[in-house]
Chains A and B, each alone.
Chain A
């Protein structure tokens, strides 16, 4: 097939969204390429969902430029939406329809012929392991099943871009891993994924490239590894002291790492050699209640960039 436009699926320049006086998205630039998994990592209220709704061509932008699949959401909304799959933050299934009809009727909204939707619905039920629930009512499904059904539904039109707003929030570890596996398979099939999350492990698992978003702006951008390399050290030593001792202790060990963060329940010392930090701490006669040396994660990047933890 002839390529009519570049492989840029989503492009935003100075994109803004206001709700009255509140500016939820304050001018962001992003570019999502074909076949990549792009993540928005940020705490509550960062503006992730507001951005996703603009990309979904549902919420009109308050300012800036936005182009999706080379089209303008203000003009070509229905044509853009025909090629997107949307999995909103809250499961909004049609509670008046059973599991199968949720897929079937939704597929019809895309103008897909009857027999074709039926075949796709069966296929997707198998894909998300809900075949035996096909005639169940939506309200009788567990949280994880609802989430899976929502994802199956968002795939009924074989989208070019799949938008997932916090796909695994509120799920148990087993359900999360099943979902991650399904999303990974979609990515292998060439579906472009856009994911928001406030779980750093999810971002690390799924995203090729991500932006760290906070208070409506993008604080940093890159692959998970690049971000860790740029904004953190290789390792982190976590030290737990009796409550109330943290600030005083931190001063005594400030020189041991490139950076020291004091959290309510522990001190983090950023250094390329965590074990060495622990030895030095003990050598200075300090006796932490518990210690842990781990690799740096996106959580540390976030802490460095915003001074706050992601999930509190």
Chain B
């Protein structure tokens, strides 16, 4: 064949298979964390401490507790709340501070984008990582719940994928918010939202304690949706509320993912 100066018309594919790129970002994060497993462990202990102090400790003072018309021990009410919260906290850690550091200081994503990786790979990879971190805390917590005899239904097996879903939804939305931050001070806003969500999302007491608009507001906050889903699964009392939570959390995660990808395009492909 003779040499020609016209460019080849066919589009040539990336050397990476679909989703391989996201997997490689997860691999990169895993390697950086191997040496920091202690940091990883502390995130798991927090919800366990809450379970023991409030669920079991305070639970001793409460004799009968009603949930969806069933009488259950108070600890069984609090535990799934902590399960959802562990996925929430775990996902938050990586998708906020760590992503900000990589984006603004380490310039990690600039390094990745000169390889065959794309902004979609970065967005998916980081979100999956946040989800896995939250999910691993949840899995460990689920084992603790089971060991303490706080699960009675086979539905509880599905609480793990539910926790992964919560991790995905929060990881995606928090990372998208992080792409708008300009300084470390901006993270105060995240902390200001994180604590009330943790305390008032039906984690420690049922939201029947609230009335009117306030109750309605809590019902549409994301962590509440996650708590309801986990609680219905671990107690085995399933209602349409779980279905709503499922759709809500999937939509939240997908929206976050799309925003992250667009923001990375705007910030990095200049």
Interface residues of A (CB under 8 A from B): 2-8, 19, 56, 58-60, 67, 70-72, 75-79, 81-82, 84, 86, 88, 90, 92-97, 101, 105-106, 108-111, 157
Contacts and interface: CB of A to CB of B under 8 A. Distances in A.
A97 B3 CA distance: 44
A234 to B, nearest CB: 37
A114 B13 CA distance: 21
A101 B1 contact: no
Interface string B19-36: 011001001100110000
Contact of A5 (B3, B110, B115): B3
A106 B27 CA distance: 11
Contacts of A82: 14-15, 115-116
B31 A79 contact: no
A14 B3 CA distance: 24
Nearest to A56: B114
> Which of A77, A78, A97, A108 gathers the greatest number of chain B CB atoms within 10 Å?
A78
Contacts of A71: 7-8, 12
Contacts of A111: 14-17, 20, 116
Interface string B162-187: 00000000000000000000000000
B191 interface: no
Contact of B1 (A2, A60, A93): A2
A91 B173 CA distance: 31
A105 to B, nearest CB: 5
A108 B116 CA distance: 10
A95 B106 contact: yes
A110 B8 contact: no
B112 A109 contact: yes
A263 to B, nearest CB: 36
Given A5-B8, A71-B12, A79 B3 contact: no
A110 to B, nearest CB: 6
B4 interface: yes
Contact of B31 (A60, A101, A109): A101
Interface string B105-141: 0111011111111100000000000000000000000
Contact of B3 (A7, A81, A92, A157): A7
A94 B106 contact: yes
Contacts of A84: 114
B32 A97 contact: yes
29 contacts: A3-B3, A5-B3, A5-B6, A6-B4, A59-B269, A59-B270, A60-B269, A78-B13, A78-B116, A78-B117, A79-B12, A79-B14, A79-B116, A82-B14, A82-B116, A84-B114, A90-B107, A92-B110, A94-B28, A94-B111, A97-B28, A97-B31, A101-B31, A105-B31, A109-B21, A109-B24, A109-B115, A111-B116, A157-B115
Contact of A110 (B7, B28, B115): B115
Contacts of B7: 5, 67, 70-72
B115 A58 contact: no
A77 B116 CA distance: 7
Interface in B256-270: 268-270
B5 interface: yes
Given A2-B1, A5-B5, A79-B14, A86 B20 contact: no
Nearest to A50: B270
Contact of A109 (B6, B8, B116, B270): B116
B190 to A, nearest CB: 22
A70 B8 contact: yes
B106 A96 contact: yes
A216 B109 CA distance: 27
A67 to B, nearest CB: 5
Given A7-B3, A94-B108, A108-B24, A78 B114 contact: no
Q: Max chain B CB contacts within 10 Å: which of A19, A72, A92?
A: A92
B115 A106 contact: yes
B68 interface: no
Nearest to B7: A70
A76 B11 contact: yes
> What 10 A-B pairs are tightest by C-beta distance, nearest first?
A78-B14, A109-B115, A78-B116, A79-B12, A111-B15, A96-B32, A86-B114, A70-B7, A6-B3, A82-B116
A249 to B, nearest CB: 48
A75 B268 CA distance: 17
Contacts of B31: 97, 101, 105
Contact of A92 (B12, B15, B107, B115): B107
Contacts of B13: 78-79
Nearest to A65: B7
